[in-house]
Homo-oligomer: A and B are copies of this chain.
Amino acid sequence: MPRITAVETHDVRFPTSAELAGSDAMHPDGDYSAAYLTLRTDHPDGHSGAGFTFTIGRGNDICVAAIEAMGATLVGLDLDEAFADMGAFARRFTHDSQFRWLGPEKGVVHLAAGALINAMWDLYARVEGKPLWKLLADLSPEQIVSLVDWRYLTDALTPDEALDMLRAKASGRAEREADLRATGFPAYTTSPGWLGYDDEKMIALATEAVAAGFTMIKLKVGGRIEDDIRRFALAREKLGDGIRLASDANQKWDVNEAIDWMTRLKPYDPYWIEEPTAPDDILGHAAIRKAVAPIKVATGEHAHNRILFKQLLQAGSLDVLQIDAARVAGVNENIAILLLAAKFGVPVCPHAGGVGLCELVQHLSMFDYIAVSGSKSDRAIESVPHLHEHFTDPISYGPSYTAPTAPGFSARMYPESLRDYAYPDGAIWQS
């Protein structure tokens, strides 16, 4: 009976604000960070599980404190018992009768729950010797449904409906898995478009991306309208009409401001506007979507739980749903969100970048393709070429993500990275 023996935590921060990579209209100076944990075990094969949540600097220590407080009860936990009911494992964090007061199911305690739940999935996949996407794709429809916390969802989707949806896709799984292994999953790139980059750097990186085969590029917007018009006009001119140019306002605008701004960018055919306003504003997104069509509305990276996603779908607030692997309560809640998206027929294009978000979220899109939506159409995972060198199983990508083959959730960082970027005592922060 192998058990968890310790929950180790690390406050890891990268000084990315120095180069403006990651700069946007609301977050001009992020230091990409991870509140990282390792679940140690006495498994005879020496397995451990890694997980983290992503932040942009200050407050990473608060997430570490939350992971420690919420993870304290895991020492001594029987792994086999936990793996046999991962739905119950997730609910021990999200439904704790006292911790839930601090959310419920949002903010720091939810980020910490996600880190802990994802670490357990990493451990489970390592013990099973499978990459996470494959572990999930091998589950039966009944097993998948049992992972979801159905509380608050049944007015939009019931467990029985989900079961029917999953069964309907069961027969095609093998074929889609073979396709995934052969051709990967589509990617798009955000790296040319940070708000802190000048026109020359933006166009050079965008041209390079198109030459590498990318067909969709994302530009940050929301600083000054004149700058956005110039950047969009320039990108459209240099890249031609065949490239999808997405825009991302990172929550900058009020509802009417978003409508006015995007109306002025319409001549340059933005593919979507991402996070035009507050991530909580379901009705605001719906109003914007109606007003700026055919520009699509995309949101979700800051959507705090499945209840918000349910409503974004019910209200017709989005054309593109963006999950984030580390904001909601881990794999389990993201499966709920994938099922909701499939029910409403909305494509999922995950948020990634940050620290290790690409590594995590690829597994969820690949599972979605094989077992839930069954489609790659109009779907692509964000890709950003930063910080992958700190991970033991970095993504392999160009215009497509290659399906991971190593066991686990691709969440593990090198011990040297955890040491050197430790905040505030690591070598990088001391120098």
A interface residue numbers (CB < 8 A to B): 26-31, 55-59, 61-63, 65-66, 69-70, 96-111, 151-155, 251, 254-257, 277-284, 287, 302, 304-305, 307-308, 310-311, 314-315
A283 to chain B, nearest CB (A): 5
Name the one of B107, B256, B305 contacting A110, with C-beta atoms under 8 angstroms.
B107
Closest 4 CB pairs of A and B: A107-B107, A108-B108, A58-B98, A155-B255
| Cα distance A101–B326 in the bound complex, in angstroms | 12
A152 touches B281 (CB 8 A): yes
Please tell me how many copies of the chain the complex holds.
2
B104 touches A106 (CB 8 A): no
A64 to chain B, nearest CB (A): 9
B311 touches A283 (CB 8 A): yes
Which single residue of chain B is at the shortest CB-CB distance from A31?
B98
A102 touches B98 (CB 8 A): no
| Cα distance A152–B256 in the bound complex, in angstroms | 10
| Cα distance A307–B102 in the bound complex, in angstroms | 18
User: Which of A31, A66, A304: most chain B Cβ within 10 A?
Assistant: A66
| Cα distance A107–B34 in the bound complex, in angstroms | 18
A56 touches B101 (CB 8 A): yes
Some 16 contacts from A to B, beta carbons below 8 A apart, are: A59-B98, A62-B65, A65-B65, A66-B108, A104-B278, A104-B279, A106-B106, A106-B304, A107-B108, A108-B109, A151-B278, A154-B256, A155-B255, A280-B308, A281-B311, A283-B315
A98 touches B55 (CB 8 A): yes
| Contacts known (A101-B59, A102-B108); A307 close to B287, Cβ less than 8 A | no
Contacts of A103 in B (CB 8 A): 106-107
A11 to chain B, nearest CB (A): 11
B65 touches A28 (CB 8 A): no
A106 touches B107 (CB 8 A): yes
Contacts of A302 in B (CB 8 A): 104
| Contacts known (A59-B69, A282-B311); A154 close to B304, Cβ less than 8 A | no
